[in-house]
């Protein structure tokens, strides 16, 4: 859906630029407003998800006060709070343009793209860090119980399967979203060049 929107955006302003150079080739303000609403929804969803993780891990650790689950809850809290702190820092200045010109809205859209690319890089780092913690924890949990009566290896192997599925899913999503943001940066650069060329033509 977002890829199609980018294609429609490119076709719209390129068509307008070809037919009437005096008319701004694309409503960058409308694009920035829509992107701002999507950004607000993503940040709100991220905060709600963070609160849910903190509450769930705290309640579960309270109900299962063993060393391994307490360590798990501590890891969840640390990772979640670090992610929220980064999200707040990364989101500074992403909701309002510095001015009312097309150039100001292009710059705001460019800053949003760069912020989301930073978020993806942070996501990669957080993913590898969590794998470095979760894999040893799952192995410890497996080997500490595999000789216990009633041990069910299937339930433990399911944990590894879920971890593998989530990891692959995140990596695929990171790759697709990164390419999308890079394409959007290219479109913004093309749009800015077209606006600059129109301005030069008007004053020539």
Q: Per the structure block, which two tokens stand in for 115?
A: 């912020």
Q: Per the structure block, which two tokens stand in for 153?
A: 């290896």
Q: Which residues of 114-151 are buried (b: 16+ CB within 10 A; e: fewer)?
A: ebbeebbebbeebeeebeeebeebbeeebeebeeeeee
pLDDT of residue 43: 93
Q: Distance (Å, rounded) from C-alpha 93 to C-alpha 112?
A: 9
> What are all long-range contacts of 185-189, with beta carbons under 8 Å and residues at least 24 apart?
185/110, 185/113, 185/114, 187/6, 187/9, 187/10, 188/106, 188/109, 188/110, 188/113
pLDDT of residue 203: 42
Q: State the sign of the Cα–Cα–Cα–Cα dihedral 141, 145, 150, 154.
A: positive
pLDDT of residue 152: 73
pTM of the model: 0.77
Residue with tokens 């339930």: 155
* Cβ atoms of 25 and 190 closer than 8 Å: no
Q: What is the pLDDT along the chain (204 residues), one digit of tens a residue?
A: 556 665 665 565 555 555 444 444 567 888 888 989 999 999 999 999 999 999 999 999 999 888 878 888 998 999 999 999 999 999 998 988 888 888 888 899 999 999 999 999 999 999 999 899 888 888 887 777 777 776 677 776 787 888 899 999 999 999 999 999 999 998 888 888 776 654 444 444
Nearest to 134 by CA among 123, 142, 124: 142
Q: What is the DSSP letter of 1?
A: -
CA separation (Å) from 15 to 12, 20, 23, 101, 200? 5, 9, 11, 21, 19
């Amino acid at each position: 859906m977002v890829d199609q929107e980018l294609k429609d955006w490119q076709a719209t302003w390129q068509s307008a630029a070809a037919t009437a150079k005096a008319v701004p080739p694309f409503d960058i303000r409308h694009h920035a407003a829509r992107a701002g609403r999507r950004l607000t929804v993503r940040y709100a969803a991220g905060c709600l998800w963070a609160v849910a993780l903190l509450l769930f891990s705290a309640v579960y650790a309270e109900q299962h006060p063993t060393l391994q689950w307490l360590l798990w809850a501590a890891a969840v809290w640390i990772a979640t709070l670090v992610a929220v702190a980064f999200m707040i820092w990364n989101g500074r200045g992403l909701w309002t343009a510095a001015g009312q010109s097309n150039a100001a809205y292009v710059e705001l859209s460019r800053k949003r793209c760069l912020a989301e690319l930073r978020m993806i890089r942070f996501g990669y780092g957080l993913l590898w860090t969590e794998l470095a913690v979760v894999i040893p924890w799952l192995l410890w949990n497996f080997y500490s119980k595999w000789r216990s009566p009633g041990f069910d290896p299937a339930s433990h192997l399911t944990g590894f399967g879920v971890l593998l599925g989530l990891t692959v899913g995140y990596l695929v999503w990171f790759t697709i979203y990164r390419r999308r943001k890079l394409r959007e940066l290219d479109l913004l650069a093309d749009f800015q060049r077209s606006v600059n060329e129109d301005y030069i033509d008007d004053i020539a």
